[in-house]
Amino acid sequence: MSRSMGASGNLRVLLGWTALLYTVFVVYGSLVPLKFHALPWDEAVARFGAIPFLKLGIGSRADWVANLLLFIPLSFLWLGALSAGRSRLLRALATLALIPAAAALSIGIEFTQLFFPQRTVSQNDILAEALGGIIGVLAWWGAGGRFVDWLQSWRHTHARAALAERLAWAYLAGVLVYNVLPLDLTISLVEIFHKWQDGKVNLIPFGRLPGDAAYALYEIATDALIWAPLALLWRLDGTRSAWRAWGMTLATATAVEIMQLFVFSRVSDVTDLFTAAVGAALGSVIGGWLAAREAPAGRPPRAAAPPAQAGGAAGWLPFALAAGWLAVLLFVFWFPFDFRTDGAFIKSRLDFLQRVPFEVYYIGTEYRAITEVLRKTLFFAPLGGLLAWGVARQPWRWRSPLFALAMLVLAGMPAVIELGQVMLPHKIADTTDWLLAWLGGLAGYGMARRMLRAPRHAVPVRTAVDAAAVSPYPAPRTRWHLPLMLGGLTVLFWSAAHAPFVPYNVRELLRHDAPWLSALLLALACYWLAVWPVWLARRRVSGLFRQGQLPLGLLMYGGMAFLLLAAAVPDESLYDLAGSPVHQWPGQWELGLRWVALLAVPGALLYLAAQTVRRWRGRRLGAGHFWAVVPVLLLAYWGIVAQAATDNLTELMAVPRPLAFVALCAWLYVLFLAAAWLASPLPAAQRTRQLAAVLASLPLAALFLHLGLAGEIDKYGQQFSALQFLLSADRQHYAAQPVIWLRYSALHVLVIAALASLQWPHFRATPRLHSQVPHASH
């Protein structure tokens, strides 16, 4: 127990320091270039109260996403530092503190930027950063346990092949993230056509190379070398052939080029496939050579490889390769070698010593800054790896002085390169580049040292499988579930918006300027609305804590859904259901809270349906799992009906409205219960019962819907029922009642099928076990 508590404490300390350093980075990066301009306090407050909410176009979309992504690791790391290894109650309290703290930090940063005129202040940044903070908290709740396990696993002894596999997937993740930057994503056919017209889609191999032969060679070489490490690491796994590693790398490069087609500012070039093929072949050959050295023929496997002793020229081969790489670095960063040595020119170039770190990177775009960061670090990482390899091959008595010499080279060579760039008119010398190059060299040294010290072969720790972890149902294949569901829903919403028989209020949901992006965000919102309550219901926590977890979970549920819907649909569509703001609250707080109250109803009933099905399947659930829904629904009724800002919803309800609200909740519960029952795993012999339940839900749901909706509404100079208003194509042509009920029947079955399709992996997946929670509580 003490060892477990000590490990958790050490992990929290590590996460705490990481979170603190990242917070400093966020604040510093938000204020660069640190050119302070004094401003009276009253004027600053007045300016901050009038900051605008900007309409974002394709050029500003990347800035908004960058601010959102900036705050996700912030709240993720801080929640881990405060709650890793602790009880769920402390985690909940930390969550309640972190969400407003992240929002307060965002507001504080934006307010402080008023004193730095180079920065742009807007409500968009606050919204994006607050949303990023919420996503980071949710990410820890969903994946924090696995992240902790992953971190702690690095303390164990791994074979070199296992380390190579881990590094390969980490490198692949970095490559994929970089290639979708600057995140100005688009699925608009018009914008993709403009990208084609601008020459950003090239189908002619080697048709866009620079005219200068040296620059063309540099571009081809760098594009090829990007893919060499991935193929090398995959080949080091020892289980993949050279052709398989080459094919996996080339397939990944092809997928990246297809992805870049939907990044507006990036160039999709078929030349990259040819360079990737060359880089993959190079990495596969070198990886195969290294893997063969790790498993010599005729020798039994050893737990660890003793360091090679110096023997002739072979012991100094890594240092010779490091010297050759230094020559490559000098060529890359000093070409075309047009040095100027006159004193006046050199003196005018020494102003870089007065710049604050990352000031030059602020001048350009985020994509350009990240490109330069990766360029400096990745170019110097091989130098560190070669030096680590050389030190490891020497006798013990030489390792200390050689290690000191390696550290001197890693710090001194970037400085020499930057000082040389002072004399090159077309180069920019910067202390930030020296820092990044030095850190890249240290990272390469550290990774190579860890790889060399690892045993060559894995030592099996256990061979038995815990019988308690075996599920009676096969594990579902969910790898492609999310992209398939999102893609299908996106196409469905886009098609519905263009179908003449669909009600007009549905056709008006998509934004006209970016219909495909709007459909995608709407699909993401629907996925979130369908899945989050099921995930919440399956959390293994005590009944007492669950009663507090449900309101908090539904608050996050409604808030996240509102942010997605606000980005997906026009404001008029949001006002149609919740009403225009009637209070003088800043921003969209009133509209957001009204939507949180509105979405609490389906969220609570989806949660209740999931718990009901789990109870039918034999789970031991206390009454608190079910009765916790009642206060949520009462509060939602107060916000939706009693304090309604519009009669768009209340006029559709029958009278008396409290009974109508109960009937509508019963209708939703029947609908959600049928979907949950269809999504839950049952033996093949009982699957007919699932289909029978879906069919039986139709008349019962229709009865509750008939009791909950108004049978006659007098408006627009006409008389019609609530169902006619909702399911007719337009206000001028109300369908007859038989047609309306036929349409509802089809919609009823479609909604149940869609919900079941979205939810089934979450019913079949084995929930994560937590040692802090007794089994009886579940």
CA distance 546 to 553: 10
Choose the final residue of a domain: 128, 156, 184: 156
Could you tell me which residues are beta bridge partners of residue 715? Answer: 718
On whether residue 691 sits in a domain, the answer given is yes
Beta bridge partners of 720: 713
Residue 581's CB is within 10 A of a number of other CB atoms, namely: 16
- Separation CA 671–CA 697 (nearest Å): 7
What's the pLDDT tens digit per position in 448-494?
A: 887 777 766 554 444 333 333 334 444 444 556 677 788 888 888 77
For residue 474, tell me if it sits in a domain. no
Cα–Cα distances in angstroms (integers) from residue 251 to residues 220, 262, 276, 487, 612, in the given order: 19, 18, 10, 21, 45
469 in a structural domain: no
Q: Answer whether the bond into residue 182 is a cis peptide, omega within 30°.
A: yes
Triad 439, 443, 448: Cα angle to 5°: 150
Contact (CB, 8 A) for 22 and 73: yes
Residues 683, 572 share a domain? yes
Same domain, 716 and 614: yes
One domain, residues 449 and 487: no
Sign of CA dihedral 268, 270, 271, 276: positive
Q: How many domains, the chain?
A: 4
In a domain, residue 463? The reply is no
**pLDDT at residue 772 in the model:** 36
- Looking at the structure, tell me whether residues 257 and 360 fall in a common domain: no
Output the CA torsion sign for 192, 197, 201, 203. positive
183 and 221 assigned to the same domain: yes
Residues 505 and 541 in one domain: yes
Phi-psi group of 579: left, alpha or beta (phi > 0 → left; psi -120 to 50 → alpha; rest → beta): left
Pair (651, 556) in one structural domain: yes
Tell me: do 181 and 65 sit in the same domain.
Answer: no
Residue 513 in any domain: the answer is: yes
Burial of 69 (0-12, 13-18, 19+ CB in 10 A): middle
Residue 197 included in any domain: yes
Whole-angstrom Cα distance, residue 411 to residue 549?
Answer: 51
Evaluate whether 607 touches 533 at the Cβ level (below 8 Å): yes
Judgement on whether residues 236 and 358 belong to the same structural domain of the protein: no
The 10s digit of each residue's pLDDT in 386-416 is 898 888 888 877 888 888 899 999 999 998 9
What per-residue confidence (pLDDT) applies to 514? 74
Residues 582 and 615 occupy one common structural domain? yes
Domain residues for the domain of 440 are 314-458
Domain endpoint, select from 266, 295, 324: 295
pLDDT of the residue at 776: 34
Inside any domain, residue 722: yes
Cα–Cα dist 429/425, whole Å = 10
Say whether both 333 and 277 belong to one domain.
no
Structural domain ending residue among the three candidates 138, 156, 174: 156
Say yes or no: 86 and 220 in one domain: no
Mean pLDDT by 10 residues, the chain (778 residues): 55 84 84 78 81 61 72 88 81 86 87 78 79 86 80 65 76 78 67 74 74 72 81 78 85 84 78 86 82 50 42 70 88 84 83 73 67 79 87 81 89 89 85 87 86 63 38 48 78 76 69 78 87 81 60 84 84 79 76 87 90 79 73 86 80 86 90 86 64 80 86 74 74 74 83 85 56 35
User: Is 454 part of any domain?
Assistant: yes
Tokens of 386: 């070669």
Distance (Å, rounded) from C-alpha 105 to C-alpha 130? 9
